[in-house]
Chain A
Amino acid sequence: MRHLLVKDLRILRRSPLLVGLLVVYPLIVALLIGFALTRGPEKPRVALANEVPETASTINLGGEEIDIGDYAQRLFAAVEPVEVDSREEAVELVESGDVLGALVIPQDATRRLQEVVNLGSVGGEPPQVEVIVNTQGPLQGSLVDSLIQTQLLQANAALSERATQAAAQYLDILLSGGSFSLLGQSIDILGLQRSVEVLEGVKQRLPEDDPQREAIQEVQTFAQLAVDNLDFSDEILSTINSPVQVETTRLEAGSATLDDFTIAVAVSVSLMFVCLLLAAGMLALEREENAFGRLVRGLVSRLGVVVEKLGLAALCGGTVGGIMLVGLAVFLDLDFARAPAWLAALALASLAFGALGVLVGALARDVRAASLLAFLLSLPLAFLALVPPGAVTGVLSTVIEVVSAVFPFAPTLEAVQAAIAGDALLAPLLHLAVLLVAFTALARIALARFGAT
């Protein structure tokens, strides 16, 4: 078996074009897929649940009514909003995959916002809006999450600017005096500066020894102090730069980030091509060169040939995947401490793909047919595994789930992603091991059925 493996590696070494294609092709496909996925959809659909009653949808900022709904809409400039009535509805849409995420504005949002912008009520809790994303498709989830965070940042900036302006207006009136509108009534305010002048006039008119002069002087000093120190307002105002806070709800636990996911896709696609094509092609080559008959008449068992091709796939797939991961790790700041997990994921994934490849090679008689079959099989099945959960419903989604479970791509993706992120590996590895055993058994049966010639 070892001799066969050495033989196959030697043949590969003498087939630079094939090896070049085997390495370059999956890399290109992986990069294209990674690129396509990273770009994301043009305008993702996001649900908006505005639970604020219509009667309470405005806040008063410096006498100006601001509709909080407008601000919510502003959040949705970059997405296609789908308006729903409640948080429950929004959650449902996210879970079913109809929308990529949801924004929930709670009932008390305006009241709390009003409290924040009213300088008087110090210690009011800022309103909290909720972002709901589905992390089963980590790609879309993080996309929506970051999208909403960015938009919210802008909205916050706009709101706090308005609040600051309003506050500055109050302060200006306090300082210089003027007209102030409160509850629809216009009130004249004296202003600190003018009150100092007024007090000075009063003081002048009092006799020199009048004891009230001292009291007036005290008030005057205080007012002057206030006037002089109104610079503090800047600091006070800066405390309300984030009037709205965001809480993110992830419906499906998972710590994969966009980068992890893209890396996992790229590595999985490469593994798939290298292992499938090598195992299928090199087994078919044994038959194409009529050597298979020679081997299995007592030299090597059929299972031995299968195992040797699995070893070849694992060796080459592991090498390509390993190089990719190490290369990406350098650029993308992956944690090298997780290398053993990478290795485990790469090894089992390569073996599972290799077993499927051996099955393909056992069914096809020559290398061309085997490669074609491997291509025809792998590309659509890999794309199926990438269909975001909930994007389709009913029977079709069940079919996709089953196909994804039977084909090693989805568990490979899961395993590589978990290995990169440091999540639990056991489930996807077990899944891959089951597929490995099943495909190896099927390949062995196919080889028996097709005989030695």
Chain B
Amino acid sequence: MLPDIGPTIPGVTASASATQAPSIAARAVSRRFGDRQALREVSFEALPGELVAIIGPNGAGKTTLLSILGGLQKPSGGEVSRPPREVGWVPQQTAIYAKLTVRENLKLFARLEKVDDPAGAVERALELTGLHGRADDVLSELSGGNRQRVNIAVGLLADPPVLLLDEPSSALDPRQRERLWAFITGLVEGGRTTVLWSTHDVGEAERHADRVLVLADGELLFTGSPAALHAEVGGVQRDFEAAFVRFLHKRGH
């Protein structure tokens, strides 16, 4: 995996990646909802093949940041390096039609994505997510875990270099989570796809991420490897979560 980048000052782009062009980068991205500042000048880069976790408490701005990266919202300030069409988007709540079958959903989005070979893309997505056996089932008859897989499969249809997942594991049981992570690690292994996912589960970020972004109240507090976060937070291995909360608290969150 990637070398340890180490902690950076919030708002400043990590510089250790100068050798490799970032897969996606945010530059001073801000988002305001009326009086509320949901994001304050967030800047970061993610490299090809990198698994980046965005962690933070509820309301930190994780969804807002991801949806700006995915082109669902426009930032009030700042910019994103990649156009939304080249970014796969997997929202927290499954965004698929309950009355259609798995295959119909995938085919519809493949056509809307204008991929070169819709049928092939559908087969590939079914393959990747292990949904072949359920291809002709209507979505409303699937389990939550399988629905989430379809949700992810839709995000993969255009074979995007960057995949964004908003709290993908929050609705899954432990076994389903394990399968999800096996799948995501497989996806980034080739080094072609960059995956950014949000979570409020510090342990999950620690286990799977190459790089962690810590967001609180719209502010990027930390960018670096899980080990560096450990060092910064200073907690013992077993009590990392509590140490993380203390870390946030110390910074006024």
Q: Which A residues fall within an 8 A CB radius of B?
A: 3-4, 7, 10-11, 14-15, 289-291, 293-300, 451-453
Contact = CB atoms under 8 A, between A and B. Distances in A.
Q: Label chain B's interface by main secondary structure.
A: loop
Interface string B89-129: 10101111111100010001101110000000000000000
Interface residues of B, number: 27
A330 B138 CA distance: 41
B94 A290 contact: yes
A7 to B, nearest CB: 5
B134 to A, nearest CB: 17
B91 A3 contact: no
B76 to A, nearest CB: 13
A268 B93 CA distance: 39
Contacts of A453: 63, 67, 72-73, 91
Given A14-B99, A298-B85, A7 B108 contact: yes
Given A3-B112, A7-B100, A297-B89, A290 B95 contact: yes
B37 to A, nearest CB: 17
A12 to B, nearest CB: 9
B70 interface: yes
B97 A289 contact: yes
A11 B95 CA distance: 15
B36 to A, nearest CB: 14
A452 B73 contact: yes
A291 B138 CA distance: 16
Given A10-B99, A11-B97, A294 B91 contact: yes
B97 to A, nearest CB: 6
Listed from nearest, the 6 A-B pairs whose CB atoms lie closest are: A290-B95, A452-B72, A299-B112, A297-B71, A298-B85, A11-B99
B97 A291 contact: yes
Contact of B113 (A7, A289, A299, A451): A299
Contact of A289 (B67, B73, B95, B108): B95
A42 to B, nearest CB: 49
B154 interface: yes
Contacts of B71: 297-298
B84 interface: yes
14 contacts: A4-B108, A7-B97, A11-B97, A11-B99, A15-B99, A289-B95, A290-B94, A294-B91, A295-B112, A296-B72, A297-B70, A299-B109, A300-B112, A453-B73
Contacts of B100: 7, 10-11
Contacts of A294: 89, 91, 95, 109, 154
A451 B76 CA distance: 13
A289 B63 CA distance: 17
B84 A297 contact: yes
B104 A10 contact: yes
A297 B72 contact: yes
Interface string B69-87: 0111100000000011100
Given A290-B95, A294-B154, A297-B70, 10 more contacts: A7-B108, A10-B100, A14-B99, A289-B95, A289-B96, A290-B91, A295-B112, A297-B71, A299-B113, A453-B63
A308 to B, nearest CB: 11
A10 B104 CA distance: 10
A180 to B, nearest CB: 93
Contact of A3 (B72, B94, B108): B108
Interface in B149-164: 154
A291 B96 contact: yes
A291 B93 CA distance: 10
A15 B98 CA distance: 11
A300 B84 CA distance: 12
A278 to B, nearest CB: 15
A359 B71 CA distance: 23
A303 to B, nearest CB: 15
Nearest to B95: A290
B32 to A, nearest CB: 13
A174 to B, nearest CB: 91
Nearest to A293: B72
A19 to B, nearest CB: 12
Given A11-B99, A289-B98, A453-B72, A298 B84 contact: yes
B58 to A, nearest CB: 16
Contacts of B98: 289
A298 B69 CA distance: 13
Nearest to B33: A451
A14 B139 CA distance: 12
Contacts of B83: 298
B89 A451 contact: no
A290 B72 CA distance: 12
A15 B93 CA distance: 23
Nearest to A1: B112
A453 B70 CA distance: 12
A7 B106 CA distance: 12
B95 A291 contact: yes
A281 to B, nearest CB: 13
Contact of A452 (B67, B111, B138, B154): B67
A276 B154 CA distance: 30
Contacts of A300: 112
Contacts of B95: 289-291, 293-294
B30 to A, nearest CB: 16
Contacts of A452: 67, 72-73
Contacts of A293: 67, 72, 89, 91, 95
A304 to B, nearest CB: 10
Q: Which of B71, B91, B95, B111: most chain A Cβ within 10 A?
A: B95
A4 B91 contact: no
B73 A451 contact: yes
Q: Which of A14, A289, A294, A451: most chain B Cβ within 10 A?
A: A294
